[in-house]
Structure 1
Amino acid sequence: MIIKNFLLGVISLSLLQMSSVLGQIGNKHNAPPNIILIVSDDQGYHDLGSYGNGAIITPHLDRLAAEGVRFTDFYVTSSICTPSRSGLLTGRYPQRNGTYELFRNDRVDEGYQYNEAEYSTTPERILGTDLREVFISEILKKAGYTNGIFGKWDLGQLRRFLPLQQGFDRFYGFVNTGIDYFTHQRYGIGSMYSDNEPTTADKGTYSTDLFTRKALRFLDENREKPFFLYLPYNAPHSASSLDPTIRSTVQAPEETRHLYPMGKTKKENQTRDYRAAVTRMDESIGDILKRVAQHGLEDNTLVVFLSDNGGGVGSDNSPLRGRKGQFWEGGIRVPCIIKWPGQIEAGAVNRDFVTSLELFPTLLAAAGVAHPNDVTLDGFNLLPRLMGGTEKVREEMFWELREDQAARVGTWKWVASPKGSGLFNLEKDIGEQYDLTAEQPEVARKMREKFAAWQSAMQRAEPRGPFRDY
Structure 2
Amino acid sequence: MQRPNIIYIVSDDLGYADLGCYGGRDGPDGPVSPNIDALAAGGLKLTEGYANSPVCSPTRFAMATMRYQYRLRGALEEPINSRSKGSATLGLPPDIPTLPSLLKDAGYRTALVGKWHLGYPPHFGPLRSGYEEFFGIMAGGVDYFTHCSSSGDHDLYINDETHKEVGYLTDVFSNKAVQHVKARATEARSGTPFFLSLHYTAPHWPWETRDDAHVAPEVAKNLFHLDGGSVNAYRRMIHHMDEGIGWLVAALREEGLLENTLIVFTSDNGGERFSDNWPLVGGKMDLTEGGIRVPWIAHWPAVVPPGRVSAQHAMTMDWSATLLALGGGQPHPDYPLDGVSLEALLRDPAQRFERPMYWRMNHRGQRALREGDWKYLMVDGHEYLFNLPADARERANLAKREPGRLARLREQWLAWDATMPPIPADATVSLGYSVKDMPAR
| Residues in 2 aligned to 1:306 and 1:267: alpha-carbon distance in whole angstroms | 28
Which residue does 1:47 correspond to in 2?
18
**Aligned position for 1:459:** 421
| Counterpart Cα distance in 1 of 2:351 and 2:43 | 20
Aligned partner (choices 248, 262, 286) of residue 288 of structure 1: 248
1:396 pairs with 2:363: no
Mean alpha-carbon deviation: is it higher for 387-396 or for 70-79? 387-396
State which of 243, 248, 251 in structure 1 corresponds to 2:208: 251
Question: In 1, are the aligned partners of 2:84 and 2:119 still within 8 Å (CA)?
Answer: no
Higher helix fraction: Structure 1 or Structure 2? 1
Letter in structure 2 aligned against 1:193: Y
CA deviation string 1:262-290 (max 9, x = no partner): xxxx9996211110100000000000110
Residues 297-345 of structure 1 deviation map (CA, whole Å, 9 limit, x = unaligned): 0111010000000001310111001001000000000001001112111
8 Å CA contact 1:130, 1:466 repeated in 2 = no
Change (3 A) 1:412 1:360: same
Q: For residue 102 of structure 1, report the CA deviation from its aligned partner.
A: 3.4
Amino acid at match of 2:134: F
The corresponding residue for 2:263 is: 303
Distance in 1 (alpha carbons) for counterparts of 2:381 and 2:236: 31
Amino acid aligned to 1:196: D
Q: Could you tell me whether the CA contact under 8 Å between 2:16 and 2:295 is conserved in 1?
A: yes
Matched-pair contact (CA < 8 Å) for 1:100–1:465: no
2:60 is aligned, of 66, 69, 85, to 85
Q: Secondary structure at the match of 2:266?
A: strand
Secondary structure, counterpart of 1:223 in structure 2: helix
Match 1:60 to one of 23, 26, 35: 35
Q: CA deviation at 1:419?
A: 8.2
Question: Aligned match of 2:403 in 434, 437, 441?
Answer: 441
Residue 76 of structure 2 aligns with which residue? 100
Q: Can you list the C-alpha shifts for 1:177-219, whole angstroms capped at 9, x where unaligned?
A: 11111111112221111101122x21x4110011112111111
TM-score norm. by structure 2 comes to 0.86
Q: How does 1:213-224 map to 2 (within 5 A)?
A: 213-224=175-186
Separation (CA, whole Å) in 1 of partners of 2:78 and 2:292: 16
> 1:129 and 2:111 equivalent?
no
Alignment of 1:348 onto 2:288: no
RMSD over equivalenced CA pairs, Å: 2.3
Percentage of identical aligned residues: 36
TM-score (norm 1): 0.81
Alpha-carbon distance, 1:124 to partner? 4.6
- Please give the alpha-carbon distance, in whole angstroms, between the structure 2 residues aligned to 1:305 and 1:465: 35
CA pair 358-465 structure 1, distance change in 2 beyond 3 A: farther
CA gap of 1:387–1:464, structure 2 versus 1, over 3 A, is farther
| Contact 2:309-2:349 within 8 A present in 1 as well | no
Q: Measure, in 2, the Cα distance between the counterparts of 1:146 and 1:68.
A: 25
Structure 1 residue 173: Cα displacement: 0.6
Deviations 1:415-465 (A, max 9, x none): 1111864111001000000001110111111111011011001128xx999
Offset at residue 230 of structure 1 (A): 0.3
SS of aligned partner of 2:385? strand
Cα distance, 1:255–1:131 mapped onto 2, change above 3 Å: closer
Whether 1:237 and 2:197 are equivalent positions in the alignment is: no
Q: Are positions 1:377 and 2:348 aligned together?
A: no
Residue 160 of structure 2 is aligned to residue 196 of structure 1: yes
Which amino acid letter does the alignment assign opposite residue 205 of structure 2? Answer: S
Confirm whether residue 432 of structure 1 aligns to residue 394 of structure 2. yes
State whether residues 87 and 357 of structure 1, in contact with CA within 8 Å, keep that contact through their aligned partners in structure 2. yes
